[in-house]
């Protein structure tokens, strides 16, 4: 019998809420692909088009980057079989300046429509420490708290062994904000612990490569072999999972 935290069929309808194109692929591509293959609905929400995110503005000019990254994400999700994607249209690097009540209201509308069983997002650490990541976590946590349905909230995390193997080299490659560290979680405390089967891992790698403006510089920095190894597992821990309570502004259940 497959443990629940390793069984994609146990996730039900999955909603991922992320900050930038490629966040969803790095942190949950395998989860999304396996959930789709299990017959579950998967919906992905992206807050910004990542128009500031390039280490090589000559190859990927910032004036064109929003368009480039939008096309890259569309291609990546097609590889994974995810057909339902929503943009929030907020400015890259500017999520903290957005009215949080407006953002929460928009996301509540999506949650009311999708009625997810499983919600995936960043933890309060933002995984890489990016302010947009932390803000999206805060919005999503509040949405799940207010929603009068029932959804389990899961925060992206890393296992201790993954941290020991890859963190320092990723710091050297510039993947983390200054001084940031991802939340470490013991294996026994993971709510989702997916060691991706070979076929699923290859799909994840194909989806990542579809986002060349983000992926190619990192592969060049860390090497192909290490890049493959560091992307072959996906980890989440339970977020704020207490039962939602009725508060002013909560949506009525269907």
9-238 homologous superfamily: LmbE-like (3.40.50.10320)
- The answer to whether 68 and 60 are in contact (CB under 8 A) is yes
* pLDDT one-digit tens code per residue, 67-116: 999 999 999 999 999 999 999 999 999 999 999 999 999 999 999 999 99
In this predicted model, what pLDDT tens digit does every residue of 225-248 receive, in sequence order? 999 999 999 999 999 744 433 333
pLDDT, averaged across the chain:
92
**Residues 160-186, mean pLDDT to the nearest whole number:** 96
Full-model pTM: 0.92
Euclidean distance between CA atoms 106 and 122, whole angstroms:
18
**pLDDT confidence band for 221 (50 / 70 / 90):** very high
pLDDT at 31: 97
Tell me the pLDDT band of 254, cut-offs 50, 70 and 90: very low
């Amino acid at each position: 019998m497959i443990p629940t935290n390793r069984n994609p069929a146990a996730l039900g309808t999955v909603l991922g809420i992320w900050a930038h194109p490629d966040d969803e692929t790095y942190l949950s591509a395998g989860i999304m692909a396996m959930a789709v293959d299990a017959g579950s609905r998967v919906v992905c929400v992206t807050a910004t088009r990542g128009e500031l995110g390039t280490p090589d503005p000559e190859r990927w000019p910032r004036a064109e980057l929003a368009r480039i990254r939008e096309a890259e994400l569309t291609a990546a999700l097609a590889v994974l079989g995810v057909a339902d994607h929503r943009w929030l249209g907020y400015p890259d690097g500017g999520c903290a300046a957005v009215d949080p009540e407006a953002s929460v209201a928009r996301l509540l509308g999506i949650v009311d429509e999708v009625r997810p069983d499983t919600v995936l997002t960043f933890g309060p650490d933002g995984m890489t420490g990016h302010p947009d990541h932390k803000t999206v976590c805060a919005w999503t946590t509040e949405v799940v708290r207010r929603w009068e349905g029932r959804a389990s909230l899961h925060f992206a995390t890393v296992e201790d062994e993954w941290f020991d193997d890859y963190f320092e080299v990723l710091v050297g490659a510039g993947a983390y904000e200054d001084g940031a560290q991802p939340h470490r979680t013991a294996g026994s405390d993971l709510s989702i612990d997916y060691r991706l089967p070979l076929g699923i891992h290859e799909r994840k790698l194909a989806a990542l490569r579809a986002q060349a403006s983000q992926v190619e510089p990192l592969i060049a920095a860390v090497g192909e072999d290490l890049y493959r190894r560091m992307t072959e597992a996906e980890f989440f821990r339970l977020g704020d999972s207490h039962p939602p309570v009725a508060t002013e502004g909560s949506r009525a259940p269907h």
